[in-house]
Structure 1
Amino acid sequence: MFQTIRRILIKSLLWFMAGSALLVLVLRWVPPPGSALMVERKVQSWIDGTAIDLQRTWRPWAELPDDLKIAVIAGEDQKFADHWGFDIAAIRAAIEHNQEGGNVRGASTLSQQVAKNLFLWSGRSWLRKGIEVWFTGLIELFWPKQRILEVYLNSAEWGVGIFGAQAAAKHHFGIGAPYLSAHQASLLAAVLPNPRKWSASRPTAYINRRATWIRRQMRQLGGSHYLNQLSASKPQWLVAVLGK
Structure 2
Amino acid sequence: MNTPRPVNRLRSSTSPSIPPRSGRSPHVGPSIRQRPWLEWVVRLVTKLVLLSFLISLGWVILLKYLPVSVTPLMISRKLEAIGENQNSQLYKDWTPYEDISKEAALAVVASEDQAFPKHWGFDFDEIQDALKENQRRKRPRGASTISQQVAKNVFLWNGRSYLRKGLEVYFTFLIELIWGKERILEVYLNVAETGPLTFGVEAASRRYYGHSSRTLTRTEAARIAAVLPNPRLFSIKKPSAYTQKRTRQISQQMRYLGGQRYLENL
Q: TM-score w.r.t. structure 1 length?
A: 0.90
Deviations 1:166-203 (CA, angstroms, capped at 9, x unpaired): 11111211111112111100000011000111011211
Bigger mean CA offset, 20-29 vs 74-83: 20-29
SS in structure 2 at match of 1:189? helix
Bigger mean CA offset, 35-44 vs 207-216: 35-44
The one-letter code matched in structure 2 to 1:106 is: G
2:260 to 220, 224, 233: 224
The one-letter code matched in structure 2 to 1:56 is: K
- Contact residue 52 and residue 160 of structure 1 kept, 8 A: no
C-alpha RMSD of the superposition: 1.3
The one-letter code matched in structure 2 to 1:161 is: L
Instruction: Determine the C-alpha separation between the residues in 2 that align with 1:193 and 1:127.
Output: 23
The answer on 1:161 being equivalent to 2:161 is no
- Contact residue 104 and residue 221 of structure 2 kept, 8 A: yes
Match for residue 233 of structure 1? none
1:28 to 30, 39, 64: 64
1:58-207 matches, cutoff 5 A: 58-207=94-243
- Greater helix percent: which structure? 1
Gaps of 5+ in 2: 1-36
Bigger mean CA offset, 127-136 vs 41-50: 41-50
Instruction: Determine the C-alpha separation between the residues in 2 that align with 1:73 and 1:157.
Output: 15
Q: What's the CA shift for 1:42?
A: 1.9
The one-letter code matched in structure 2 to 1:7 is: R
Instruction: Determine the C-alpha separation between the residues in 2 that align with 1:8 and 1:94.
Output: 40
Asked which structure has the greater CA Rg, the reply is: 2
- Contact residue 72 and residue 158 of structure 2 kept, 8 A: no
SS in structure 2 at match of 1:86? coil
Match for residue 38 of structure 1? 74
Bigger mean CA offset, 16-25 vs 81-90: 16-25
The one-letter code matched in structure 1 to 2:173 is: G
What's the % identity of the aligned pairs? 45
Q: What's the CA shift for 1:50?
A: 3.5
SS in structure 2 at match of 1:196? coil
Q: What's the CA shift for 1:30?
A: 1.3
SS in structure 2 at match of 1:93? helix
Deviations 1:5-34 (CA, angstroms, capped at 9, x unpaired): 232222112111111111111211111121
Q: TM-score w.r.t. structure 2 length?
A: 0.83
Q: What's the CA shift for 1:98?
A: 2.4
Instruction: Determine the C-alpha separation between the residues in 2 that align with 1:172 and 1:49.
Output: 24
Match for residue 49 of structure 2? 13
1:56 to 72, 85, 92: 92
Structure 1's 6 and 48: CA in aligned 2 closer, same or farther, altered over 3 A?
Answer: farther
Aligned residue pairs, count = 230
- Contact residue 195 and residue 236 of structure 2 kept, 8 A: no
Match for residue 215 of structure 1? 251
Gaps of 5+ in 1: 231-244
